[in-house]
């Protein structure tokens, strides 16, 4: 097996852990409150910290995204089937979109939604493609269990995208103050934030599943 796969895997997870701890600590220091994964978006975690550290955050995130891309392009020693091309392509695309989620502000609404859609579809596709690879590839280790895992997670992830509540993500909570002014607040559980962080988690989970698959 290509050693780059091992290096890329551990770099992706170690740097993402360092980045997350770094960001959460600085965010709490700068904002004087904890960051909430349930109603705050990934880009807010970076841009809510001290400006002088922003470039360091993006460098660390770039290393994580690059490690994911290297993992994708070196996972298969040779590519023969369409679903193997699909697996590599969707993994690489999800890595690029992962980086952009921390970069594109929600105020740039069209760009942000395009990034979110591409990232979620890339993650769903990569699970489906991995399911096919693990299940039927004559050049891989055929394993129905890993194939089913890929199919099931892909199907469940796709179903969540059909959630009708997702269309109402821009709707905010309104609170009327004593002086009559209306305060606009995000709901306790902000759908867009939940989906963005949820699919990021699924993206890293797939890397773990694929890495374990190499040793069965």
Q: Where are the domains of the chain?
A: 3-213
What is the predicted pLDDT for the residue at 31?
81
What is the predicted pLDDT for the residue at 176?
53
Confidence of residue 184 (pLDDT cuts 50, 70, 90): low
Q: What is the mean pLDDT of the chain?
A: 88
Confidence of residue 118 (pLDDT cuts 50, 70, 90): very high
Q: Kindly give the residue spans of alpha helices, DSSP state H, lying in the chain.
A: 3-31, 42-47, 54-75, 82-101, 109-136, 144-161, 191-213
Among candidate residues 128, 105, 98, the one with its CA nearest the CA of residue 199: 98
How far does the chain reach from its first CA to its final CA, in angstroms? 13
**44/16: higher pLDDT:** 16
d(CA 92, CA 101): 14
If you search the block for the tokens 């797939």, which residue do you land on?
Answer: 206
| Number of neighbours of residue 202 by Cβ within 10 angstroms | 20
Q: How far is CA 69 from CA 5, 85, 167, 183, in A?
A: 10, 13, 31, 43
- DSSP annotation of 196 reads H
Q: How does pLDDT run across 139-183, given as a tens digit for each residue?
A: 667 899 999 999 999 999 999 988 877 776 665 555 555 555 545
Q: Report helix, strand or coil for 176.
A: strand
Q: How does pLDDT run across 21-77, given as a tens digit for each residue?
A: 989 988 888 888 889 898 888 988 887 776 777 888 899 999 999 999 999 999 998
What is the predicted pLDDT for the residue at 191?
84
Query: Does the model's pTM come out above 0.85?
Result: yes
């Amino acid at each position: 097996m290509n050693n780059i796969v091992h290096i890329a895997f551990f770099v992706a997870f170690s740097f993402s852990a360092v980045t997350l701890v770094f960001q959460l600590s600085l965010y709490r220091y700068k904002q004087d409150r904890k960051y909430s994964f349930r109603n705050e978006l990934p880009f807010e975690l970076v841009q809510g910290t001290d400006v002088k550290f922003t470039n360091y955050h993006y460098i660390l995130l770039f290393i994580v995204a690059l490690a994911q891309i290297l993992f994708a392009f070196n996972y298969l020693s040779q590519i023969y089937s369409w679903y193997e091309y699909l697996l590599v392509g969707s993994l690489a695309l999800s890595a690029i979109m992962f980086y952009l989620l921390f970069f594109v502000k929600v105020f740039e609404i069209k760009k942000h939604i395009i990034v979110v859609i591409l990232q979620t579809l890339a993650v769903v596709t990569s699970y489906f493609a991995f399911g096919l690879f693990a299940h039927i590839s004559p050049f891989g280790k055929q394993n129905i269990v890993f194939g089913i895992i890929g199919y099931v997670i892909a199907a469940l992830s796709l179903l969540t995208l059909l959630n009708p509540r997702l269309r109402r993500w821009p709707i905010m909570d309104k609170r009327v103050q004593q002086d009559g002014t209306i305060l606009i607040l995000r709901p306790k559980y902000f759908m867009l934030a939940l989906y963005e962080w949820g699919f990021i988690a699924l993206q890293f989970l797939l890397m773990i599943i694929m890495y374990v698959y190499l040793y069965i």
